[in-house]
Amino acid sequence: MNQSPLLSLLEEKPGAFVSGEEISRKLNVSRTAIWKQIRKLEAEGYVIEAVPRLGYRIVERPSRLSPTELANRLTTRSFGRHLRVFDAVPSTQDVLRELAEEGAPEGTLVLAEQQTKGRGRMGRSWVSPAGKGVWMSLLLRPSVPLHMTPQLTLLAAVSLSRAIARVVPLEIGIKWPNDLLVGGRKISGILLESAAEDERIRYVVAGMGISVNLEEQDFPPEVLEKAISLRMAAGRPVDRVEIVAAAMEEFEKLYELYAAQGFAPIRALWEAHSVTLGRPATLQTPHGTIEGIPLELDDLGGLRVRLADGSIRTVYSAEVGDR
Ligand code: BTN
For residues 206 and 12, the model is more confident at: 206
Q: What integer is the mean pLDDT of 22-46?
A: 89
Nearest CA to ligand 1 atom 2: 189
250 CB-near residues (< 8 Å, 6+ apart): 159, 160, 162, 163, 166
Residues 8-33: what's their mean pLDDT? 92
Distance 176 CA to ligand 1 centre (A): 16
What is the per-residue pLDDT for 67?
Answer: 87
- pTM given for the model: 0.84
Secondary structure letter of residue 125 according to DSSP: B
3-60: which CATH topology? Answer: Arc Repressor Mutant, subunit A (1.10.10)
Cα of 120 vs centre of ligand 1, distance in Å, is 5
Query: What are the residue ranges spanned by the domains of the chain?
Result: 3-60, 67-272, 277-322
The yes-or-no verdict on residue 267 having pLDDT over 90 is: yes
Specify whether the CB–CB gap between 301 and 150 falls below 8 A: yes
- The residue nearest atom 9 of ligand 1, judged by CA position, is 209
CATH architecture of 277-322: Roll (2.30)
* pLDDT surpasses 90 at 1: no
Q: How sure is the predictor about 15, in pLDDT bands with cuts at 50, 70 and 90?
A: confident
Q: Strand, coil or helix: what is 30?
A: coil
* Interval between CA 61 and ligand 1 midpoint (Å): 25
Q: What is the pLDDT of residue 208?
A: 98
Model pLDDT for residues 108-120, shown as the tens digit of each residue: 999 999 999 999 9
Pocket of ligand 1 (CB under 6 A): 91-93, 115, 118-121, 124, 126, 128, 135-137, 179, 189-191, 207-209
Mean pLDDT (whole number) for 16-39: 94
Give the Cα separation of 31 and 267 in Å (integer).
58
Residues contacting residue 188 through CB under 8 Å, at least 6 positions apart = 160, 164, 179, 180, 208, 209, 210, 211
| Least trusted range by pLDDT, from 47-61, 109-123, 139-153 | 47-61
Residue 10 CA, ligand 1 centroid: distance in Å: 34
pLDDT of residue 3: 63
Fold of the domain spanning 67-272:
BirA Bifunctional Protein; domain 2 (3.30.930)
The best mutation among 110, 121, 128, 223 to test binding of ligand 1, ranked by most ligand atoms within 8 Å of the C-beta, falls on: 128
Alpha carbon distance 155, 201 (integer Å): 17
Cα distances (angstroms) measured from residue 103 to each of 67, 256, 259: 21, 21, 21
**Ligand 1 centroid, distance to 260 Cα (angstroms):** 28
Q: Is pLDDT of 298 > 50?
A: yes
pLDDT digits (tens, 9 = 90+) for 187-199: 999 999 999 999 9
Q: What is the mean pLDDT of the chain?
A: 94
Asked whether residue 173 carries a pLDDT value surpassing 50, the answer given is yes
